[in-house]
Amino acid sequence: MPNFVKHVTIKLMQSAIEILFIFPILLALTIYAYPNGQVLTVIAGLVGYYLVGILLSRFLRNKSNAIYVVISSIIGITASFIIGSFESFSVIYAIMASFSIFRGIRINKSNWMKQSPIPVFNLLLATYFVFNVLFLMSKSLYPYVGLLNIAGLFMIVVFLSLCSLDQLKGAFFKLGDKNHIPSTILKFNITSLIIILVLIIALSRFKPFWNSVIVLAKSVVLVIYSFFSNLSFNTNGNVQTDEIQMFGKKFSNNISILEVISNILRVAAIIGFAILTIYVIFKFIHKIAIWLSNKSEENIVKENTLGYVDEREILLKSPSNYWPNVKSFLHLFSKERSWKDLLTNRDKVRFIYRQKVLSFIKKGFGFKNSLTPNELAKELERVYKEDVSDLTSSYNKARYSCEDIEDIELEMLINRHKR
């Protein structure tokens, strides 16, 4: 029993970081959708549903995500029928509860209690920005925006005063063998934060955008309705809507073709601006990451430096017919470094290795995650009669050892394998 209590306590402490990030987003959406109530219901339920997920993970081990999703949905929907006081809120409450339970089940198993403060500070900073939007959206909380900003500024000053440059780099990279929050959690949480903030601001507070969407939708409906009803257009291109009644509502405004085109352009421009904003933010974060890496006193290339993902993971996804399309779609947000950007011989060897294996995958080679580099070289020699043992030997040295890659060795690999 003590071990069980210890397990639950550790999981709750680990999930507290994620709760700090997700909680204000759910709360912000709830306040916007239901400003007159039901917020306390969501607050009370969020941590409880995380606990339910943690307990389920204790008894349901090594199950598929589909089973976890089904169980989470059943519990969330059941709870919404019991707690929800009206239908629309019940739907949102069921979604929030199901999501919280699922995250509680899938919470990362790493122990986060011996952290450098910087990764936690990243999530606290993200939470601060979300709370800023939340306070601006809520009429009851708006008067306290000043206090929130004072608290946020105090938090930033305190954390930065406690952190050295090496700890600051820990917000982006692994530092030796120190325990850290997995980079995927930081990356995807920050990505989700930016996208959700843009959507919240654009859809809930930017009234011209919302009005444009409404007018555009009405315009399309009226044009289709007029086509099937054989309505006539006047000479100025307006659709007479005085006698049109749909879904129990009467449209009494005249909407011109130019207004339809204007609203389409407005919506397209705003969406384009949102995408551009996200791109600029990601480029800015990328520049900071490069600057911090160049400030390092250690001349050691770490595994995740400058966005490197384990080669096996990248190559394993490559045989999929859908992966190139997905990769091109996400290229804006996950651009890899090109050859000219690589600074060390170790990075260049890893680049050549990955490109070489990708060239065989394009020829139809079925990459297996279980193969070691040496086993992969033997398999390629057997199938394609091509010797890549020199490349795999250099790759093992660059990837797993502390030995340096000489310029002569790199030049030979470039001449033989790089195209």
DSSP structure class, residue 202: I
92-112, pLDDT tens digit by residue? 666 666 666 766 665 544 444
Residues ≥6 apart with Cβ < 8 Å to 338: none
pLDDT at 385: 83
Tokens 């954390």 -> residue: 159
The span from the CA of 345 to the CA of 347, in Å, is 5
The type of residue at 16 is A
- Range scoring the smallest mean pLDDT among 80-84, 93-97, 212-216, 298-302: 298-302
pLDDT at 83: 64
- Start-to-end Cα distance in the chain: 61
Token readout for 221 is 């409906």
The pLDDT of 32-46, averaged and rounded, is 58
Helices of type H across 201-254: 207-229
147-197, pLDDT tens digit by residue? 777 777 777 676 666 655 555 555 445 444 444 444 444 454 455 555 555
Token readout for 16 is 């507290």
DSSP structure class, residue 239: E
Short-list 403, 401, 277, 405, CA closest to 347 = 405
pLDDT band at 300 (very low <50, low <70, confident <90, very high): very low
Any bridge partners for residue 233, and if so which?
239
pLDDT at 319: 46
Max avg pLDDT among 57-66, 80-89, 381-390: 381-390
pLDDT at 154: 76
Question: Do the Cβ atoms of 352 and 414 come closer than 8 Å?
Answer: yes
The span from the CA of 138 to the CA of 35, in Å, is 7
Token readout for 172 is 């982006």
Name the more confident of 316 and 286. Answer: 286
The span from the CA of 175 to the CA of 305, in Å, is 10
331-367, pLDDT tens digit by residue? 434 445 566 667 788 888 888 888 888 888 777 777 7
The span from the CA of 275 to the CA of 205, in Å, is 18
Question: Do the Cβ atoms of 169 and 295 come closer than 8 Å?
Answer: yes
- Whether 412 shows a pLDDT value over 60: the answer reads yes
The whole model's pTM is what? 0.30
- Whether 260 shows a pLDDT value over 70: the answer reads no
pLDDT at 403: 77
pLDDT band at 227 (very low <50, low <70, confident <90, very high): low
Token readout for 294 is 């160049």
- Range scoring the smallest mean pLDDT among 55-69, 167-181, 367-381: 167-181
- Range scoring the smallest mean pLDDT among 81-90, 113-122, 155-164, 320-329: 320-329
The type of residue at 221 is V
pLDDT at 363: 76
Residues ≥6 apart with Cβ < 8 Å to 350: 308, 311, 395, 398, 399
Short-list 21, 195, 31, CA closest to 125 = 21
DSSP structure class, residue 344: S
Token readout for 91 is 């739907």
pLDDT band at 374 (very low <50, low <70, confident <90, very high): confident
pLDDT at 414: 84
- Range scoring the smallest mean pLDDT among 61-70, 264-273, 301-310, 341-350: 301-310
- Whether 203 shows a pLDDT value over 60: the answer reads no
Task: Decide the pairing of beta strands 249-251 and 244-246.
Answer: antiparallel
pLDDT at 149: 73
Token readout for 219 is 């315009």
- Whether 122 shows a pLDDT value over 70: the answer reads no
- Whether 383 shows a pLDDT value over 80: the answer reads yes
DSSP structure class, residue 203: I
- Whether 121 shows a pLDDT value over 80: the answer reads no
Average pLDDT for the chain: 61
Token readout for 397 is 């040295």
The pLDDT of 17-30, averaged and rounded, is 57
Task: Give me the phi and psi of 32, to 5 degrees please.
Answer: -70, -40
pLDDT at 345: 84
- Whether 382 shows a pLDDT value over 80: the answer reads yes
Short-list 404, 374, 367, CA closest to 391 = 374
pLDDT at 401: 78
The pLDDT of 257-276, averaged and rounded, is 67
The span from the CA of 235 to the CA of 247, in Å, is 28
pLDDT at 350: 84
Token readout for 171 is 């917000």
Question: Do the Cβ atoms of 390 and 410 come closer than 8 Å?
Answer: no
